[in-house]
Structure 1
Amino acid sequence: MKRDRDLVARVLAAKRDPRCADDLVRDYLPFIKAETAKFMGRSPQQGRDDELGIAMFAFHEAVLSYDRARGAFLAFASMSMRHRLLDFARRERRHADVISLDERRPDGGEGDERALVETIASERDELDERQMREASRQEIAQFAAELESFGLTFLDVSENCPKQQRTLEACQRVLDCARKNPELLDRLLQTKKLPMAELARGAGVERKTIERHRRYLVAVLLAFTNGFEIIRGHLRRIVPAGGDGR
């Protein structure tokens, strides 16, 4: 816990001082390389692989955009790097697509050929889908680990979801209240307990409703405080935007 607090203090200092930011990137270069290696499937070579530079830039971006409501910094930075690397890979493929679109290749039948442009869309879609599946798998595994630190599992959350529309709306008010008050999210992450009294008062929801759906509320708030972009994308359909629009 002290190490996490020390890191957050360094990140907040780096937001104000470029030299501190440079020091942080240098000190966490092994972490950045490890995250890049997960994406590439091999160790990146400094000065040769563009992916490492992209990841370092994304780490620096994460430093500048971080606030404590986003939860653990390294989880947030990891997500930021993965999304930047995905964007970079897609841009590289689009650039490669333009080089020789009229080139023809065998189509599998006797003497049949198709122009490269006719095969690009399906191949690109397949690669995008594979990368998105892998990104989703990693994010779900990381989210499961976060839930475990709160003594929760996906089954616990599933069984604790609100069943009635009125209850769902009450839970939405609680979530909106928490996201508009970062100090409550900080307390959740530090104590591993939902600040029920403050949430009940701020959202105008009975405390017994919050207690009954505590596991569901904790899980959704974790997703919105730790940079789980893919999971958050699904949750936006049921969770109203908070005051910061995240």
Structure 2
Amino acid sequence: MLLSIIHGLFEKQNMNQLVLKAKAGNEEVLNDLLFAGTPFIKRTASFVCKRPIDEHDEEFSVAMSGFYEAVIAFNVKEAASFQTFAHLIIKRRLIDYLRRETTLKERHMLLEPANDESSDQHFIFDKQSIHTYNEKQRATSRKDELIHYKNLLAEFNLTFEQLTKSSPKHADSRKTAFQIAQLIADTEELYTYLIKNKKLPSKDIEALVEVSRKTVERHRKYIISVVLLLKSDFHYIKDYVKGVMQ
């Protein structure tokens, strides 16, 4: 079984099937997945933390819990690749952990008594260091989200350059395209069709919205990119484009 798990790590369809078995309660498959997924968990944790991570680090335990959470929460209809989904969950849990640790350090320094004349300067230095660390973490998270968003767009043969050129220029057109994207994101059947067929369900959209197929096709790239963003966990990208896409 373990060999099939390891083999499944390199084949998306097989991997998804194994994850679904583990999710359904097959403990043997779950245990094998956790074991075979250890290298992936380490790589992901190291990528997020920007330093080597092994089994002795607390970050590894957090990442392992994130991997387990991804197995339980995985929905093949909403996420085409388990590894991409697991990476996002692990990243989110590690960022939450690092933020909590930073907050505890800040509180500790605030409560730490001043024993000498240099204590104030020491506190200021530490506070600045924490601020710099937080900024670096946010920059890393933003870069990580952009990489994954780029890879997600590539599954639909889309690039950032294409989106820049195809974005609706007029506010009314942009609003209409955004509303169509919201409709698809909020309608399971339409979203499933998009993910499965890698194209818009134009006929169904025409039946639900008073808009021509020509209009839908003209803004196809923009609509797909918005749907993928709405259904993602890319918090930094969402904050950045908030108010611009609508």
- Could you say which TM-score interval applies, normalised by the shorter chain? 0.7 to 0.9
State the match for 2:40 in structure 1: 31
Runs of at least 5 residues in structure 1 that lack an aligned partner in the other structure: 241-246
1:65 counterpart (73, 93, 102): 73
**Match runs of 1:30-109 below 5 Å:** 30-46=39-55, 48-67=56-75, 68-101=77-110, 102=112
CA displacement at 1:103 relative to structure 2: 5.9
Per mean C-alpha deviation after superposition, the further-off stretch among 4-13 and 87-96 is 4-13
**Match runs of 1:16-27 below 5 Å:** 16-17=24-25, 19=27, 20-27=29-36
- CA change 1:144–1:98 in 2 (3 A) is same
CA displacement at 1:207 relative to structure 2: 1.4
**Match runs of 1:199-238 below 5 Å:** 199-235=205-241, 237=243
CA displacement at 1:238 relative to structure 2: 5.8
CA displacement at 1:98 relative to structure 2: 3.7
Runs of at least 5 residues in structure 2 that lack an aligned partner in the other structure: 1-9
1:6 counterpart (6, 11, 14): 14
Equivalenced residue count is 234
Greater relative CO (CA pairs within 8 A, separation 6+): 1
Per mean C-alpha deviation after superposition, the further-off stretch among 126-135 and 186-195 is 186-195
Distance 1:150 1:51 in 2: 34
Does residue 192 of structure 2 align to residue 192 of structure 1? no
- CA change 1:162–1:3 in 2 (3 A) is same
- CA change 1:179–1:224 in 2 (3 A) is same
- CA change 1:82–1:36 in 2 (3 A) is same
Deviation digits for residues 139-174 of structure 1, max 9, x if unmatched? 212222232332222121012112223222321221
Contact conserved, 2:67 with 2:90, CA < 8 A, in 1? yes
Per mean C-alpha deviation after superposition, the further-off stretch among 182-191 and 57-66 is 182-191
Query: Please, what TM-score do these two structures have when normalized by structure 2?
Result: 0.81
Distance 1:87 1:160 in 2: 36
Contact conserved, 1:175 with 1:239, CA < 8 A, in 2? no
What CA RMSD, in Å, does the superposition of the two structures yield over aligned residues?
2.8
